[in-house]
Chains A and B, each alone.
Chain A
């Protein structure tokens, strides 16, 4: 067998594997998306119908009528606020950790470890805490919770980004009489802005998809998409069409975001361990 044939075979095999993998990993997503356009007699048909015959937007309309927009709005407000706060507080701390080595080696690791706190372990005290503040079912309650889970992440990620930029630029600014806060805000922060964006996107994704706290804290006013979708899984009936429609609404923004930060995906997903 010639080298060319072997190369050709190897590359065909690679494409075959890629195709197979794509089929496996995309099929479920396509399936739930198609469900949003099927009639009940289609998604309750045996054997199943793959392609909706009379696609319509009826489930999207239904989702809009039954508070879907509000859930989307809540999710947006909560995710955005948490992300901004986490970036602000987190990068300030990260800067101090990276530049001044505050707390030595242990403080950053302590902060990181909080990211892995199991939600079930802290939920009830949270409930009592928010009861005392009269914060149950409010945006700020979820924002605060997600902030504590995003902060360790943001600190850790941003610390990595700050450590990568040469410190000489800030040092000269400090010598020129710039305050440390000024050096952070005007010089260091703009330099890590790509990192800021990447970190922010991951904080946003985490808050967007979170379910456990959301279902415990929200009642009616602050319901997020993940809680909203569960309501369609009723005791008497499962509204697959609405589940499909809400799934689309919940997925598409994240898909777009993940494309935008593709360069930082690995770093983001491994908490900065792999660059």
Chain B
């Protein structure tokens, strides 16, 4: 997107925000008929003068609420204090706060993975009464079904969060390299089939190997995050897609099944066709290599799709993002392997020990309402990604850059086929065990041995938290079709 287009777009956004300011709202009482954002604003005015503390991941993530909070304050007189925490602290700190008295946080961002721990600890406020009172029911239906399902926004049928971040892995590939005639011919000669954007893991590996052999060290075939603390997300989707299961019927861990071991073996093998040092790569390294045109394919979170299109690269918050050398060359595919990982994501939740629950709820309703959230997932520097049907269908978004439509369709398709990370009590610990197994295998440990150890850790966690309790929680969690492992999501007809 050119600078000029971006300016026009910004102007349109500003107008939209202003309209939001001046449109009068008639109904102050009763269920909300009109826009949920305006209902929230009207109802929130009674709390003018209060301050709510809202927990957000530190860094670029926080730029979004920092941009929105002044607008909200202007509308309602409620001040929002954005508290920035490092990602892992977002799990521990509010929980610690709850255990040690609470009251420090009103609204919290939580990964769906962590919800059961929070609900079990009694740390979250059920949102259904507020939703009934303040939200237009149609806006609830507008959340993409995968995001409003049990285990994500709801635990045991009770709503505890409003979903706010459509995080799903997709594959970004270099169209120019894949469409190059010489590459196509050479690839076919070597592998015996056409070079196409990969749908399967094998195709992805072949293409990666091909490009690495041909171009390294100028360019490598593939890059993914392998750093400790996040490596597990790249395991979950393919594991499910290959038919792996987390537990057997007795709640014994089965991550060390043949499928798991084969997958980890393959992941270790993938490292060889990725840039050297990839074992320590996080988002930044993948991003900068990609933007610099040094890799042919990456599998990662959605914002890269916007940035590599050069969309909004004049925003000052994005000054740190390397300028894209791949504008117009980027194609999108769901993460190969059938079940793209629904990695992370965020719910906005209300702390049970908050003293300003109602005001905090109205704030998160406003933030996630269709019109306001569209602006937010379109902020060039936002790390929040589309999650509402109206986001995916928005003509404004679909025209933000030439391939934006393709990007949105791929995101939606990937999400609807996605696989969530485990979200039962102790989820954090279970996932860390997988993470440890992966990084140990990257360091040279035998994949089977590494996963056997992880499985032993899993069994110990399960036993400690009570096999029966965990079994119940897991069964409950499996009620969400996107949590069930297997090659395909079976979505019930609505």
Find chain B residues with CB under 8 A from A44 CB.
284-285, 288, 322
A136 and B321 contacting across the interface, CB-CB below 8 Å: no
Find chain A residues with CB under 8 A from B53 CB.
220
B104 and A137 contacting across the interface, CB-CB below 8 Å: yes
Which of chain B's residues 210-235 have a Cβ closer than 8 Å to chain A? 229-230
Interface centre among A44, A232, A238 (most CB of B within 10 A): A44
Q: Interface code A231-252, partner B: CB below 8 Å = 1, 0 otherwise?
A: 1111111110100000000000
Binding site for B on A (CB under 8 A): 39-41, 44, 58, 66-67, 127-128, 130-132, 134, 136-137, 215-216, 219-220, 230-239, 241
Given the complex of chains A and B, what is the CA–CA distance between A241 and B284 in angstroms? 13
Q: Which residue of B lies closest to A218 (CB)?
A: B93
- Report A228 CB to chain B, min CB distance, Å: 9
Of the listed stretches B14-22, B95-103, B364-372, B459-467, chain A binds: B95-103
Cross-interface CB contact of B59 among A41, A58, A236, cutoff 8 Å: A236
Cross-interface CB contact of A235 among B81, B283, B303, B319, cutoff 8 Å: B283
Q: A235-B57, A238-B282 are in contact. Are A136 and B100 (CB under 8 A)?
A: yes
| A–B complex contacts, Cβ < 8 Å, 26 sampled | A40-B322, A44-B284, A44-B288, A127-B99, A128-B100, A134-B101, A136-B97, A136-B101, A136-B104, A216-B96, A219-B104, A220-B83, A231-B58, A234-B57, A234-B59, A234-B60, A234-B61, A235-B86, A235-B87, A235-B344, A236-B283, A236-B383, A237-B59, A237-B60, A239-B320, A241-B320
- Report B90 CB to chain A, min CB distance, Å: 9
Cross-interface CB contact of A40 among B61, B62, B320, cutoff 8 Å: B320
Q: Which residue of A lies closest to B88 (CB)?
A: A235
B319 and A58 contacting across the interface, CB-CB below 8 Å: yes
B84 and A66 contacting across the interface, CB-CB below 8 Å: yes
Given the complex of chains A and B, what is the CA–CA distance between A220 and B81 in angstroms? 9
Cross-interface CB contact of A236 among B60, B93, B96, B292, cutoff 8 Å: B60
B288 and A40 contacting across the interface, CB-CB below 8 Å: yes
Find chain A residues with CB under 8 A from B321 CB.
40
Q: Which residue of B lies closest to A58 (CB)?
A: B319
Instruction: Kindly list 17 other residue pairs between chains A and B, CB separation below 8 angstroms, not including A41-B323, A235-B230.
Output: A39-B320, A40-B322, A127-B100, A128-B100, A132-B101, A219-B104, A220-B53, A231-B59, A233-B86, A234-B57, A234-B58, A234-B59, A234-B87, A235-B88, A236-B282, A236-B301, A237-B284
B100 and A232 contacting across the interface, CB-CB below 8 Å: no
- Report A41 CB to chain B, min CB distance, Å: 5
B105 close to A (CB within 8 Å): yes
- Report B487 CB to chain A, min CB distance, Å: 29
- Report B276 CB to chain A, min CB distance, Å: 9
A231 and B97 contacting across the interface, CB-CB below 8 Å: no
Find chain B residues with CB under 8 A from A130 CB.
100
A-B contact count (CB 8 A): 91
- Report A78 CB to chain B, min CB distance, Å: 18
- Report B439 CB to chain A, min CB distance, Å: 15
B287 close to A (CB within 8 Å): yes
- Report A59 CB to chain B, min CB distance, Å: 9
Q: Which residue of B lies closest to A242 (CB)?
A: B59
B85 close to A (CB within 8 Å): yes
Find chain A residues with CB under 8 A from B96 CB.
127, 216
- Report B224 CB to chain A, min CB distance, Å: 14
Q: A44-B285, A220-B83, A220-B104 are in contact. Are A236 and B61 (CB under 8 A)?
A: yes
Which of chain B's residues 50-102 have a Cβ closer than 8 Å to chain A? 53, 57-62, 81, 83-89, 93, 96-97, 99-101
A219 and B59 contacting across the interface, CB-CB below 8 Å: no
Given the complex of chains A and B, what is the CA–CA distance between A132 and B102 in angstroms? 11
Find chain B residues with CB under 8 A from A134 CB.
101
Given the complex of chains A and B, what is the CA–CA distance between A143 and B89 in angstroms? 23
Q: A41-B322, A136-B97 are in contact. Are A237 and B287 (CB under 8 A)?
A: yes
Which of chain B's residues 99-158 have a Cβ closer than 8 Å to chain A? 99-101, 104-105
Given the complex of chains A and B, what is the CA–CA distance between A134 and B85 in angstroms? 21
Interface centre among A40, A66, A67, A234 (most CB of B within 10 A): A234
Cross-interface CB contact of A237 among B62, B283, B344, cutoff 8 Å: B283
Find chain B residues with CB under 8 A from A131 CB.
100-101
Which of chain B's residues 283-331 have a Cβ closer than 8 Å to chain A? 283-285, 287-288, 292, 301, 303, 319-323
B83 and A219 contacting across the interface, CB-CB below 8 Å: yes
Given the complex of chains A and B, what is the CA–CA distance between A92 and B283 in angstroms? 54
- Report A122 CB to chain B, min CB distance, Å: 14
A219 and B322 contacting across the interface, CB-CB below 8 Å: no
Find chain A residues with CB under 8 A from B229 CB.
235
- Report B251 CB to chain A, min CB distance, Å: 29
Q: Interface code B220-256, partner A: CB below 8 Å = 1, 0 otherwise?
A: 0000000001100000000000000000000000000
